[in-house]
Amino acid sequence: MVYVLGFLIAIAIGLTGVGAGTLTTPLLILVVGVPARMAVGTSLIFGAVVKIITAPVYMARRQVDWRTLSFMVAGGVPGVLIGVSLLKGIDGKVITGVIGATIVVVALFNIFRPATMTRHDRTKWLALICLPIGTEVGFSSAGAGALGALSLLSMTKLVPAAVVGTDLVFGLVVSLIGGGVNASLGNLSRPVLLQLLAGGVPGAILGGYLAGRVPSKQLRMGLSGAMAALGASLFYRGFF
């Protein structure tokens, strides 16, 4: 089962840049039974490895805007360190509930974000915007894909392909840092991670190959609906 989850999630990440934390973490908690803290750390490392495989596809196509990325990383890196620090002192059930609420909000942002937006170049403000996004990633592993893309769509004039590519590399950076710190704290299930990667590596390769060949908008909407349902389940489990 874990192998299949890794394969399917990795394809989704490769095609849309969304799904690393918002799908992996709730599925690990609800389906596999991994404790919340370990699910966050495991999800971050898994997402980072998948993005290491898929990001070069966007780099080779010159669909990563490095200047924009530098502003995102400037806010996202300190944010993810703050998020991991918050994770340490909170009860496991509360973590589960907060992760669920976060995933619902992220999914709704992804579903209801406008297809066309008034585009202004406010790139220099991205560091400030990505600070709370990074904090969310460090605490719950969720948000880098959907919220990062929304920020790029509303605050830059990047074309859609560059939005996906730049956001994917941003997610890679914060996932590596957040996952590494969580692993050093013991928040990592190595057996589950290895099973996820066994399915995820071929899934990431396939997702990278299909990127640009499959209509990602419809896939993103379907994934967002699944994310919202999973998040609601976690919220109920954590607070009721």
Q: What Cα–Cα distance (Å) separates residue 82 from each residue in 32, 43, 125, 131? A: 27, 18, 19, 9
What tokens were used for 91?
Answer: 């009860």
pLDDT tens for 9-30 read 888 777 766 666 788 888 899 9
Please write the tens of the pLDDT for every residue from 180-193: 999 999 999 999 99
Cα–Cα distances in angstroms (integers) from residue 111 to residues 104, 105, 129, 214, 226, in the given order: 10, 10, 20, 19, 11
d(CA 213, CA 179): 31
How many structural domains does the chain have? 1
User: Which domain covers residue 79, as residue numbers?
Assistant: 2-239
Mean pLDDT of the chain: 86
| Token pair belonging to 46 | 């898994």
Helix, strand or coil, per DSSP, at residue 95: helix
Instruction: Give, for 192, the enclosing helix (H) or strand (E).
Output: helix 190-210
Q: Which two tokens stand for residue 136?
A: 């969310």
At 78-93, the pLDDT tens digits run 999 999 988 877 887 8
CB burial of residue 24 (10 Å; 0-12, 13-18, 19+)? buried
Q: Give 119 or 39, the one with higher predicted confidence.
A: 39
**Closest to 12 in 3D by CA, of 50, 60, 69:** 50
